[in-house]
Structure 1
Amino acid sequence: MFTLDLPLAGGGTATHTLGAPAALSTATTPPTSRDVFAAAHVVANPYRASAEGGADQIDWDATLRLRQDLWSLGLGVAEAMDTSQRGMGLDWPGARELATRTLRAANEVGGRVVVGIGTDHLKIDTPTLTDITAAYLDQMAAIESLGGSCVMMASRHLAAVATTPDDYVTVYDAVLSQASRPVVLHWLGEVFDPALAGYWGHGDPAAAMDTVVAIIADHAVRVRGIKVSLLDPVQEIRLRNRIPDGVRVFTGDDYNYVDMIVGDDEGNSDALLGAFAALGPFASAAFARLDREDVDGFRDVLGPTEALSRLIFTSPTQFYKVGVAWLAYLNGQQDHFRMIGGFETGRSLVHLADLVREADRIGLFADPELTARRARAYFAVHGIG
């Protein structure tokens, strides 16, 4: 048995004994029942990581090993998106380098990848819609020239300058019309990024949906799907029931993904989730069961993980990447707990301790001895235990 003292919210510590890892039958090939991607994080170079951010802070070898792990489980990788700290330590030059390296590695092993594009290289304080469109097109051209497929991420610039839903239609029409490969759109709610409040020209998601559906309908041939990150299952189901046949909804609901993926008589969601970066083996094992039409087995494997995911993504939600990196460190997937931009300071020691307890409850830790040693040492240097 491996024990450690974990901090408590009210002060003091409590002794916790780690249990055995979960026994999971994982797959090595992509699921056939759903289209599945894990949004992966980046590993920092601990010698260079600081509040400055930037690509020179990335440990490229360790970062690519995380992607290799996901591919080996049959999962696709969603690259250079929110989980990789895009716009929160990772700028466009770093994202482009990350995409280049990931796409090259994917080609070597047959791994599946989609890459986020945005407008984050714009240096204009008040860009025009033409500027924003050009920025999207610049990034799309860069990724498509590498043979990559794009996820058109929500733009903070567009959210700041758009005054009507028509402004969004103008930009998305122009960009999608020039896509050479089907694109995944991304509806990222303000719970993930407060700067995106009122995206699509409405504060009410139900009203915003009209704009989203109209854009997709006008470009159904060029839209592969839309990732929905609202943490609102009612709105996701409504959107799922309104979009044209052949266009996928990728759930980004890290609170309710099991029900969203299973679906109902009207349809189901595919998956593009940051949670799966931390839960790769569970996702792989669960989809292997779903591929055999074993819905109960899928729920048995993945259902218990939602409590951990909700904890990782607790408010303020944009700091969920801290939990993903922390669990990767405790699981031996990286050698330290530092993040680019000093992002690891976004969560408290008590939160990190709660993650240890909840992750252990589902048997996430493959080597409990290593986990106990690393967690014990980390808390000790902060005066705990």
Structure 2
Amino acid sequence: MTAIALPAADGTIRTHHLGPPADLPVRAEPATSRLVYAATHVVADPLRASAENGPDQIDWDATLRLRHRLWDLGLGVAEAMDTSQRGMGLDHTAAMELARRSLTEARTRAARVVVGIATDQLPADDADLARVREAYLEQLHEIEAQGGETVLMASRQLVRAARGADDYRSVYDAVLREATRPVVLHWLGEVFDPALAGYWGHDDPHKAMSTVLEIINGHTGTVRGIKVSLLDDELERELRRRLPDGVHLFTGDDYNYTGLIAGDGTHHSDALLGAFAVVGRHAAAALARLDAGDEPGFRDVLGPTEELSRLVFASPTRFYKVGVAWLSYLDGAQDHFRMVGGFETGRSLGHLGNLLRAADAIRLFTDPDATARRAAGYFAAHGIG
């Protein structure tokens, strides 16, 4: 069965025929030409998933299997980030448990993991700068004590507490002074989280960049890099040109990653992407070509995936996690399409149908017959087909 009646965002229903899977040679070894991490999601326990938060909603075994799938492709895992619904269904307790389990699992195979730390143990409306600083330090110490390296995620509480760029500098300086392992900073734009508007103390991103560079230049021995998720490729190129030697720019631009990773011959971006949790096989195959010096081949494999990624990350962008979980379900990486906090309701059935079409266009699905059965069953339960 490869034909299926699919809804579309325009309200129509049309028959779609799925094609065969892409032939993508992959390997388990990490890329040598770029540092690459995929930010992946969590799998909910379908019997417990609801609008209530809590770690008991997570199917830990299924969640860890997703990490192994990425490690099997040679990709690192960025853990407890926004893709795993951090701050959007995944609370502090669950995030720290997720990090602990992932770090433990990674040690069984010497796999790469970086862990997001934040200030989400504080009340959402906390606006005390000292408490924000201590919350970051608490999570830093917790992850480093387990042997983990961290991504210093943008803090909603810091936005509320800071009165200007100096307050951002003071908090970041305090945390970076205490770090004993390399740290990646995180610049997450308001397109992903509206509560982060004005981060670094400026609404103008170029002024914000100056604050970021001041922080990085003051801690070049500690800052491994910065993940930039602004969906502004020109701004990213400018920042990476200005970074000190040895500090990496990890692109989080899920719209323009192919050209950013390929680079301009002088500078390139590494990757920490939610999109790579969706197109992991394509990413692994493309990176193998880049490692071999075949940049055109890299672009040929990875470039076509951007259309799918742009749809996954379409506005309102914070609901991109729905597409990640939906395509994971359709490709057999998990057994159901329920999400922590009932988050799957953030996208329409038409959007889900469009995602299936776009994914099939790049031959994402490894077993098209199984994908068609899963999709048909899901849509039928909602009166379609």
Range of TM-score over shorter length: over 0.9
* Whole-angstrom CA distance in 2 between matches of 1:297 and 1:188: 30
* Whole-angstrom CA distance in 2 between matches of 1:126 and 1:250: 30
* Whole-angstrom CA distance in 1 between matches of 2:204 and 2:368: 45
Residue of structure 2 in register with 1:76 after alignment: 76
* Whole-angstrom CA distance in 1 between matches of 2:9 and 2:97: 40
Residue of structure 2 in register with 1:178 after alignment: 178
Q: What do residues 233-277 of structure 1 show as CA deviations (whole Å, max 9, x unaligned)?
A: 011001001110000000000000001001113300000000000
Residue of structure 2 in register with 1:161 after alignment: 161
* Whole-angstrom CA distance in 1 between matches of 2:164 and 2:56: 39
Residue of structure 2 in register with 1:27 after alignment: 27
Alignment of 1:220-369 (within 5 A): 220-369=220-369
Runs of 4+ in 1 over 2 A off after TM superposition: 8-12, 123-127
User: Does the CA contact (< 8 Å) of 2:9 and 2:354 recur in 1?
Assistant: no
* Whole-angstrom CA distance in 1 between matches of 2:327 and 2:346: 15
- Which structure 1 residue ranges, 5 or more long, are not aligned? none
Aligned partner of 2:80: which letter? Answer: A
User: Does the CA contact (< 8 Å) of 2:124 and 2:156 recur in 1?
Assistant: no
* Whole-angstrom CA distance in 1 between matches of 2:175 and 2:378: 46
Alignment of 1:40-189 (within 5 A): 40-123=40-123, 125-189=125-189
* Whole-angstrom CA distance in 2 between matches of 1:57 and 1:124: 21
Q: TM-score, normalised by structure 1?
A: 0.99
- The structural deviation recorded for 1:327 is 0.2
Q: 1:10 to 1:32 in 2, by over 3 A?
A: closer
Residue of structure 2 in register with 1:381 after alignment: 381
Aligned to 1:371, the other structure's residue is in SS state helix
Aligned partner of 1:44: which letter? Answer: A
* Whole-angstrom CA distance in 1 between matches of 2:173 and 2:10: 53
Q: What do residues 272-312 of structure 1 show as CA deviations (whole Å, max 9, x unaligned)?
A: 00000011111110100000010001001100000000000
Cα RMSD of the aligned pairs, angstroms, is 0.9
- The structural deviation recorded for 1:336 is 0.2
- The structural deviation recorded for 1:8 is 2.8
Aligned partner of 2:367: which letter? Answer: D
- The structural deviation recorded for 1:128 is 1.7
Aligned residues: 385
Q: 1:134 to 1:22 in 2, by over 3 A?
A: same
- The structural deviation recorded for 1:124 is 7.0
Report percent identity of matched pairs.
65
Q: What do residues 8-50 of structure 1 show as CA deviations (whole Å, max 9, x unaligned)?
A: 3343410000000000011210000000000010000000000
Aligned partner of 1:277: which letter? Answer: A
Aligned to 1:373, the other structure's residue is in SS state helix
Aligned partner of 2:183: which letter? Answer: V
* Whole-angstrom CA distance in 2 between matches of 1:9 and 1:375: 16
- The structural deviation recorded for 1:224 is 0.3
Residue of structure 2 in register with 1:195 after alignment: 195
Q: TM-score, normalised by structure 2?
A: 0.99
Q: What do residues 140-173 of structure 1 show as CA deviations (whole Å, max 9, x unaligned)?
A: 0110011000000000000112111001000000
Aligned partner of 2:260: which letter? Answer: M
Aligned to 1:186, the other structure's residue is in SS state strand
Q: 1:357 to 1:339 in 2, by over 3 A?
A: same
* Whole-angstrom CA distance in 2 between matches of 1:124 and 1:48: 24
Q: What do residues 172-212 of structure 1 show as CA deviations (whole Å, max 9, x unaligned)?
A: 00000000001000000000000000000111111100000
* Whole-angstrom CA distance in 2 between matches of 1:10 and 1:76: 37
Aligned to 1:177, the other structure's residue is in SS state helix
* Whole-angstrom CA distance in 1 between matches of 2:129 and 2:105: 35
Aligned partner of 1:54: which letter? Answer: G
* Whole-angstrom CA distance in 1 between matches of 2:363 and 2:374: 17
Aligned partner of 1:205: which letter? Answer: P
Aligned to 2:114, the other structure's residue is in SS state strand
Aligned to 2:45, the other structure's residue is in SS state coil
* Whole-angstrom CA distance in 1 between matches of 2:11 and 2:166: 52
